[in-house]
Copies of this chain bind each other. A is one copy, B any other.
């Protein structure tokens, strides 16, 4: 029987492997290490790289927290009052060069304690896996977006041919900024509430989560290598700061992980490591007709088939 400790241990190992791969690809920056404890139970390890060669600010966080589920969360999740255990790895990387995309990944496991035999009122199990990876280019590059989505599709297809189309659509819907009527970037995959079913065991769900987690480093280090050597102008840098502003808007207004962190009294500097070193808001900024910036905006919509 797969235990929560095994899952947490594996995730902590993933954090280390990803930090090593990113440091190698960066060729200069080093991740700091902060261990922290949560007064209500559990804790985590926050690893931040600032001012590397390629990465301006990046965080690779591990946490495993437990305690009483706050009422606002149990209500939102339609769960009875209970104790919980949640563990995961969360990553956001902001590069210097506007031609290198921002990336985000989260892989997580959530469990209600004590595990009952039944499941909740809607018949789901009382544990589940969730996660996602999405890419936010400041300038959408079709070859990179296709490479990224193909890699995610290949990972998904090893488990279920329905995963990629389903989880790709879920990402389009989730990584969306309603007040801007634009997606955060070129999407990726998003999934939640993966529990055991007749078709899949808990072990199989965990294998899928592991495969997603292991997809991150080879894909993003390739995108770093391809793009970090490209020259860029002051105008392109300015556009990057504006796109980062949209990233901030998504994370502070809509992101459920951020909200969960704030609502569970999480470590604030770990939660908000996703925010960039520098971001800009210009009133009514509108790209010139025919510009690369305009071309990017036109691609920030749901339903683009990149794979």
Contact = CB atoms under 8 A, between A and B. Distances in A.
**Total copies of the chain:** 2
A252 interface: yes
A199 interface: no
Nearest to A58: B283
Given A180-B268, A248-B252, A249-B252, A280 B282 contact: no
Given A241-B278, A252-B248, A283-B59, A268 B48 contact: no
Given A252-B252, A253-B262, A268 B179 contact: yes
Contact of A280 (B34, B268, B278): B278
Interface of A: 32, 34, 48, 50, 57, 59, 178-180, 241, 245, 248-249, 252-253, 262, 268-269, 271-273, 275-284
Contact of A281 (B179, B277, B282, B283): B277
Given A180-B268, A248-B248, A248-B252, A278 B277 contact: no
A280 B283 contact: no
Nearest to A262: B179
A32 B284 CA distance: 11
Contacts of A272: 249, 281
Contacts of A34: 284
A283 B280 CA distance: 18
A48 B283 contact: yes
B278 A279 contact: yes
Q: Which of A180, A253, A278, A279 has the most CB of B within 10 A?
A: A279
A252 B271 CA distance: 15
14 contacts: A48-B284, A50-B282, A50-B283, A180-B268, A241-B278, A248-B248, A249-B252, A252-B253, A269-B283, A269-B284, A272-B281, A275-B281, A276-B281, A278-B279
A271 B253 CA distance: 14
A283 B276 CA distance: 9
A129 B59 CA distance: 45
A54 to B, nearest CB: 17
Q: Which of A178, A180, A282 has the most CB of B within 10 A?
A: A282
Given A48-B284, A248-B248, A275-B281, 9 more contacts: A32-B283, A48-B283, A50-B283, A179-B271, A252-B252, A273-B283, A278-B279, A279-B280, A279-B281
